[in-house]
Amino acid sequence: MIQLLGINHRTAALEIREKFSFTEQEIVSFSDQLQSDGEIDEVVILSTCNRTEIYFSQNGWAADKAFTYLLGKLADFKKTEPMPGSCFYRYTDRQAIAHLFRVSAGLDSLLFGEDQIIGQVKDAYIFSTEKGYTDALLMRLFQKSFEAGKRVRSETCIKKGITSISHLAVNLCERHTGTPASLKVMVIGAGKAATLVITALKKLQVGELVIANRTASRARSLLNGYRGKVIGLNDVEAHLPSCHAVISASGAQRVLLSSQILEEHFKHPSQMEQVLIDISVPVSIQKPERIPDHIRIYQIDDLKEEAQQNAETRKTGLAEAEKIIEQVVDEYLQWYASRALRPAIQSITDGLDSISRNELKEFRKGNSKEVQEAMEAYSNHLTQKYARAFIKNLKELKEGNHSGNYLDVVERLFKFTS
């Protein structure tokens, strides 16, 4: 059974979602806990700015019991109070599979059709696989999700326009500031999202870039000779007054510009327009209660309206995208069903082989070697022919019916005794 427990930008506000975000170290610790308990067979945890999703496989419990268990483990691990049921979605088998494929295709993103998510899904899958948390079911599932995402992007029009939160942030920055050539922009972070931001700002030809990061060498490689400087995370506050814009895509997992720091910043009179955009989760820029008119502050959830307007031109391809998703879901379920048939197929083959061997024992008595060999060859021929016929009928019976209730009957039916 494949299941999914998730929370995203549609079901919970940022202040709730950030409580359930995972670092790589936390993914290892939590996955180890789940597998050491012995109930969860495989697990992949996807944690991005807009979602935390736990994909897992298990066959020991009913679906509801598995979800209750996982919610309890999650609350204990994150040291949170139990959240309202509406914050989390729970999907099993086909629903879980289809959801992952929609996520990989960008159909479930805050920015409809975004490109960055498929890379994040791949990273989550590769990380969990390298750590030994996946086996055949989830490995095949995630590989098919990449296929679904690629097909949707190549065969529909959803890729038109802005297709990443990073580019959306830069677009918003450009709208609220002056001529790009006169701008000084600080980018916090040097990961994948920050790299996209920096690339877009260079394309705009902003006047100066300030890159703040824990590792200076990584930041310098991104600056790559462009006009600007590299600073440490502890220097962000000092450089804030001189920057027209700040875009934070930090992976620091902590607040870098607190509401107290910003309130002090507001006390210094300045007429310079400033825009601060935070696409980090957990947040790295806190919003004070009062913000001066010449300063704009956006967090990830504030980009929803911007994302909605940008998506309208691409949603014409939604119906076609959903058809592709359904096709790939069906392909995965056919493979999934064929795995469920393996014990029954083995029972058919073993049962017929058993009958053949037992009957040949009696036939060998009193017959020449040549007759025995001829009869054994003919017996093997009949056994294989009947086995193929039974297996063909079984597959036809299984097709379109993903319930395995009757497979136990088939296994018992073909457990022949001498």
Residues marked active site are found at: 49
CB 285 within 8 A of CB 299: yes
One-letter amino acid at 225 equals G
**What is the Cα gyration radius of the chain?**
29
Q: Between the CA of residue 141 and those of 56, 76, 103, 121, 256, what are the distances in Å?
A: 11, 28, 13, 12, 38
113: left (phi over 0), alpha (psi -120 to 50) or beta: left
Kindly report the three-state secondary structure assignment for every residue of 298-315.
EEHHHHHHHHHHHHCCCH
Helix axis angle for 116-130 and 24-36, nearest 10°, is 50
Length of the chain: 418
Token code pair at residue 283 = 């947040």
CB 306 within 8 A of CB 122: no
Q: d(Cα 120, Cα 3) in Å, to the nearest integer? A: 20
The three-class DSSP label of residue 84 is: coil
Q: d(Cα 93, Cα 85) in Å, to the nearest integer? A: 20
CB 170 within 8 A of CB 163: no
Among residues 302, 336, 359, the alpha carbon closest in space to that of 111 is found at 302
Token code pair at residue 60 = 């020991």
Q: d(Cα 109, Cα 117) in Å, to the nearest integer? A: 8
CB 353 within 8 A of CB 360: no
H or E stretch covering 39: none
Residues 6+ apart with CB under 8 A from 71: 5, 82, 88
